[in-house]
Chains A and B, each alone.
Chain A
């Protein structure tokens, strides 16, 4: 027994040491400067297209009246992003069934009589016999958009042959074409964003993305969608291999209303809004929380972001302090403020009295990072550190005792601060709670569904806290502290770059992002479109490691497959 106790103490001490070390760890990987010419690039990644991208491609190619009729495999988050996780997933058998179901459903709608007149560029010689010329014309046209590149001659011949064989068996040209189209939509070139590299003629021995892969990377980065015909044309005519050509296309895309889709997709990913799908609240305690709230909560923040960063061309940091937002009457009932529209959305300015300022006080943050029946300063603080400051907070040890923090009815610990103070007397807990709780406690004026409160169990709530040495008194002070913290902007830079390339930045890329891109971001007043332009027009964004390089092989062995094409 005594041996066990001793062993436990040793283990506990070890865990504590490790936790403290982890909690006090600072990032020392970005200390030296680097110019873009020094950046070697990173490995290519093959990403599974996301649900939103799939929907957008189908609407883009066939129109927005096409219904998908299926469900998607769950995405995986890595490096803080689903877009990075998308390079680490495959398709399971059941997932393939769903893709097949959707593909057949979509193809059926595309080729039904009312749509084929619009979507089919030709009329077959006979409706009950194969017509290779017509099938080829259709499949080449849609294939270029679905694969985000022209089909090779061999690919096209295979698809035309499939259509002919199916037409022969079914006795209907359109049914045959439908099956061929469906088969394209379950093929890897459609379901995965395959990045193809080629030798870089300007850098001997080095590789670069081919023009169509560049187009895809650019388009999904800025629009969260497949390249449009103009971008594909730019890829085809070599424009994307010139700096001026890339800049021309980037500027065109940044000026497009579709930029909003891209910005929304990025922030929905970064802010982990996919987890809303599994968010639940105790409706006995919080009857205002319904499934509609979930939809509106993420939309509120995305509208706020798009308006501030795109419409107003605002400073990214002000997202943490702005009192301007958009609300539905439903959200108004949770925030307890009037909303000046009978339905839909209305712009709203929180008053100082409302206690709300910045996206940290939005439902999408305080509700998403709380428990079903109570708040969690720890979860909120952890989310702030990890999502918005890119600082890793270690997971709690497996044997942690949560009894005190979970007992909200304990008259000795009426507030979350009191409960956490008692809990944090445990040596193994104190280290990490020190870096999370001072942030989360500043948000304690907002209950688990975002409603404002001054007291908990009759006791006044103390919302004072500290972020990296900066003290504040409440949520608006926290927002200002995040606004002023350099980690907030460097985090955004790293996240958005990782989002674009589908993987975390390599060491040399990180240094370039820190020394060059972040500096320009600051000089530009922390304007998101300028940051996106800076990245999208850089050579680094398209630079890839040679296939036999150490970094490429290391990445490939533990991550997604890659494809190399020699021309």
Chain B
């Protein structure tokens, strides 16, 4: 068996010059992946959605508990007797059901939505409409990012780079130790500033990331590319003023961690990245994903333990995602099945290797 190194990585991150030799390649392993939020005073001008103790009080009241009963149930919050009625606050045929499995079994609490004008992402549908945002980095109008609008006013979804939204940061930090790492490869680079023909590959590795002494993903490790054809996202791209941009829309498919998002399915996707002076790769990946995937991956599968600690009203998130879904209408009902969203990606240099019986080792 022969081995083919796909990327040579960066020899010396401290002296990155990005002077490309013929058809240069850069490999990366994902350090962080999270919803691209852009929180500020203007994003949720009426304030953030209240934390769980507050909306649990509201829900218990809705369920008919008297004020003194509610006080008793919540007196030991976050522990105490409120858990059972809160978890089973849904009703189907008048019977209590787990609200996280059946989020539609309770009324829409109408969570606070982002009303700000700016958000990261792309104009995915090519149109500029009332619900769209303006891109803070590119200034482009018509940005489709309803995922941010749906979740951005939950306290644990606030964040402005370099601060990451807390809940998604925790999700990713937990799952990346137990899922094969995600890899990015930029190939065919002739000029790191301007190159009209490069390729971006999104792959999955055979094993998880390796950590360094600070808990971050270790740079310059050797990662093995999983050849599973379902996970070969190779798209044409270009480099403009040092920024790598995909050409047109593509389908992004990547397996995640079954405990959270089992699979990421982004249609009509676009991406852009830039190389940092430290040799990292930062950028945005956006597209339309089934909003039910978002709900069950992030909320339905997590239940009370995450809802109460993160302060995210899960059934409220369900209704928000459903209401704000803006893509891929069901041909029969006409209801949108996908929601536009943007993800912030931070990756560190890596050597990407793949098994190949045909090709001699590049070194």
Give B3's nearest chain A residue, CB to CB. Answer: A340
B340-363 contacts to A, CB under 8 A, are 351, 353, 361, 363
| Nearest chain B residue, comparing its CB with the CB of A456 | B14
- Known contacts A283-B212, A452-B11, then 9 further A-B pairs from the complex at CB < 8 Å, ordered by chain A residue: A283-B214, A287-B212, A290-B212, A329-B221, A329-B222, A332-B351, A339-B222, A453-B12, A455-B15
Bound CA span A353–B363, Å: 12
**Contact A338 to B353, CB < 8 A, known contacts A288-B218, A452-B11:** yes
Q: Is A336 an interface residue (CB 8 A)?
A: yes
In the complex, which residues of chain A have a beta carbon less than 8 angstroms from the beta carbon of B363? 338, 351
Query: Looking across the interface, which residue of chain A has its beta carbon closest to that of B207?
Result: A342
B88 at the interface (CB under 8 A from A): no
Counting CB contacts under 8 A, is B206 at the interface? Answer: yes
- B118-151 interface bits toward A, Cβ cutoff 8 Å, 1 = contact, 0 = none: 0000000000000000000000000000000000
Q: Mark A283-295, 1 if CB is under 8 A from B, else 0.
A: 1101111100000
Which of B11, B216, B224, B363: most chain A Cβ within 10 A? Answer: B11
A64 is an interface residue with CB less than 8 A from chain B: no
Closest to B211 in A: A290
Q: Say whether A333 faces chain B, with CB atoms less than 8 Å apart.
A: yes
Q: How far is the CA of A333 from the CA of B361 in the complex (A)?
A: 19
CB closest chain-A residue, reference B2: A340
Q: Is the CB of B213 within 8 A of A283?
A: yes
Q: Provide the residues of chain B in CB contact with A286, threshold 8 Å.
A: 213
- Rounded to whole Å, the gap between the CB of A43 and the closest CB of chain B is 47
**Chain A CB within 10 Å — which of B3, B13, B213 has the most?**
B213
Which residues of A are in contact with B by a Cβ distance under 8 Å? 283-284, 286-290, 329-330, 332-334, 336-340, 342, 351, 353-354, 451-455
Is there an interface contact between A338 and B8, defined as CB atoms closer than 8 Å? yes
Q: Which of B194-215 contact A (CB under 8 A)?
A: 206-207, 210, 212-214
- Residues of chain A within 8 A (CB-CB) of B214 are 283-284, 287
B10 within 8 A of A: yes
Q: Which of A287, A339, A452 contacts B213 (CB 8 A)?
A: A287
Contacts of B361 in A (CB 8 A): 340
Contact status of A288 and B219, CB under 8 A, knowing A454-B15, A455-B15: yes
* A340 and B219 within 8 A (CB): no
* B9 interface hit (Cβ, 8 Å): yes
Chain A residues within 8 Å of B3, by CB: 340
Contacts of B313 in A (CB 8 A): none
Taking the closest CB of chain B, its distance from the CB of A431, in whole angstroms, is: 34
A329-B221, A338-B353, A339-B222 are known contacts. Are A288 and B12 too (CB-CB below 8 A)? no
B residues in contact with A283, CB < 8 Å: 212-214
Does B213 lie within 8 Å of A290, measured CB to CB? yes
Q: Most chain-B CB neighbours within 10 Å: which of A329, A338, A342, A454?
A: A338
A287 and B216 within 8 A (CB): yes
Measured between C-beta atoms, what is the minimum distance from B351 to chain A in Å? 4
Q: Which residues of B contact A289 (CB under 8 A)?
A: 213
On whether the beta carbons of B212 and A288 are closer than 8 Å, the reply is: yes
Identify which of A330, A338, A340 contacts B9 (C-beta below 8 A).
Answer: A338
Contact A329 B213, CB 8 Å, known A337-B351, A351-B363 = no
User: Are B9 and A453 interface neighbours, CB within 8 A?
Assistant: no
Report which residue of A283, A329, A354, A451 has the largest number of chain B beta carbons within 10 angstroms of its beta carbon: A329
Chain A residues contacting B206 (CB-CB under 8 Å) are: 342
> How close is A517's CB to chain B, nearest CB, in angstroms?
41
What 8 pairs across the A-B complex have the smallest Cβ distances? A338-B351, A283-B213, A287-B212, A340-B3, A287-B214, A333-B220, A333-B221, A287-B213
Closest chain-B Cβ to A112's Cβ sits at a distance in Å of: 38
Q: Smallest distance from the beta carbon of A409 to chain B beta carbons, Å?
A: 16
Contact of B287 with A by CB under 8 A: no
B207→A330 contact, CB < 8 A: no
B311 at the interface (CB under 8 A from A): no
In the complex, B256 has a CB within 8 A of chain A: no
Residues of B near A455 (CB, < 8 A) are 14-15
CB distance from B64 to the nearest CB of A (A): 54
**Which residue of B8, B13, B15, B210 is within 8 Å of A330 (Cβ)?**
B210
Q: Which residue of A lies closest to B10 (CB)?
A: A336
- Is B316 interfacial (CB-CB < 8 Å)? no
List which B171-210 residues lie within 8 A (CB) of chain A.
206-207, 210
Chain B residues with CB under 8 Å of A339's CB are: 222, 351
Query: Would you call A333 and B11 a contact (CB within 8 A)?
Result: no
| Distance between A32 CB and nearest chain B CB, rounded to angstroms | 52
19 A-B residue pairings within 8 Å (CB atoms):
A283-B213, A287-B212, A287-B218, A288-B218, A288-B220, A330-B218, A332-B220, A333-B218, A333-B219, A333-B221, A333-B222, A336-B220, A338-B5, A338-B8, A339-B351, A340-B353, A342-B224, A453-B14, A453-B15
Name the distance in Å between B196's Cβ and chain A's nearest Cβ. Answer: 29
User: CB distance A452 to B12 under 8 Å?
Assistant: yes
B207 cross-chain contacts in A, Cβ below 8 A: 342
Find out whether the CB atom of A340 lies under 8 angstroms from the CB atom of B222: yes
Q: How far is the CA of A287 from the CA of B13 in the complex (A)?
A: 14
Cα(A288)–Cα(B212), bound, Å: 5
- Report the separation of the CA atoms of residues A537 and B278 in the bound assembly, to the nearest whole angstrom: 58
Say whether B222 contacts A332, CB under 8 Å.
yes
Mark out the residues of chain B between 79 and 122 whose CB falls within 8 Å of any chain A CB in the assembled complex.
Answer: none
User: What is the minimal beta-carbon distance from A410 to any residue of chain B, in angstroms?
Assistant: 19
Within 8 A of A (CB), among B37-91: none
Chain B residues with Cβ below 8 Å from A452 are 11-12
Most buried by B among A290, A334, A336, A342: A336
Interchain CA distance A363-B213 in the complex, whole Å = 17
CB contact between A353 and one of B11, B213, B218, B219 (< 8 Å): that residue: B11
User: Given A340-B3, A340-B361 in contact, is the A454-B12 Cβ separation under 8 Å?
Assistant: yes
Per-residue 0/1 for B221-256: is the Cβ within 8 Å of any A Cβ (1 yes, 0 no)? 110100000000000000000000000000000000
Contacts of A354 in B (CB 8 A): 11
Considering the complex, give the chain B residue whose CB is closest to the CB of A455.
B15
Q: How many whole Å from A541's CB to the nearest CB in chain B?
A: 45
Shortest Cβ distance from residue B171 to the other chain A in the assembled complex, whole angstroms: 23
In the assembly, what is the distance between CA of A453 and CA of B9, in Å? 15
A200 CA / B348 CA spacing, docked (Å): 69
> A286's closest neighbor in chain B, by CB?
B213
Q: A452 vs B220: C-alpha distance in the bound complex, in angstroms?
A: 12
Q: How far is the CA of A336 from the CA of B213 in the complex (A)?
A: 17
In the bound complex, what is the Cα–Cα distance between A524 and B206 (angstroms)? 48
**In the complex, chain A residues whose CB is within 8 Å of the CB of B218:** 287-288, 330, 333
A336 with B210, Cβ < 8 A, contacts A288-B218, A288-B219, A351-B363 known: no
A338 to chain B: closest residue by CB: B351
Looking across the interface, which residue of chain A has its beta carbon closest to that of B9?
Answer: A336
Kindly provide the distance from the CB of A345 to the nearest chain B CB, expressed in whole angstroms: 13
A342–B224 CA distance with the chains assembled, in angstroms: 7
User: Which A residues are CB-close (under 8 A) to B5?
Assistant: 338, 340
Chain B residues positioned under 8 Å from A330 (CB to CB):
210, 218, 221
Of chain A, the residue at the smallest CB distance from B351 is A338
A329 proximity list for chain B (CB < 8 A): 210, 221-222
Inter-chain CA distance A537–B353, complex, in Å, is 49
A353 contacts across to B, CB distance below 8 A? 11
The closest CB in chain B to the CB of A289 belongs to B213
Name the CB-closest residue of A to B223.
A329
Considering the chains assembled together, what is the distance between the CA atoms of A452 and B12 in angstroms?
Answer: 7
- Cβ contact within 8 Å between A332 and B14: no
Report the separation of the CA atoms of residues A351 and B220 in the bound assembly, to the nearest whole angstrom. 17
C-alpha gap A466/B353 in the complex (Å): 40
Q: Which residue of A lies closest to B221 (CB)?
A: A333
Cα separation A338 to B313 with both chains bound (whole Å): 46
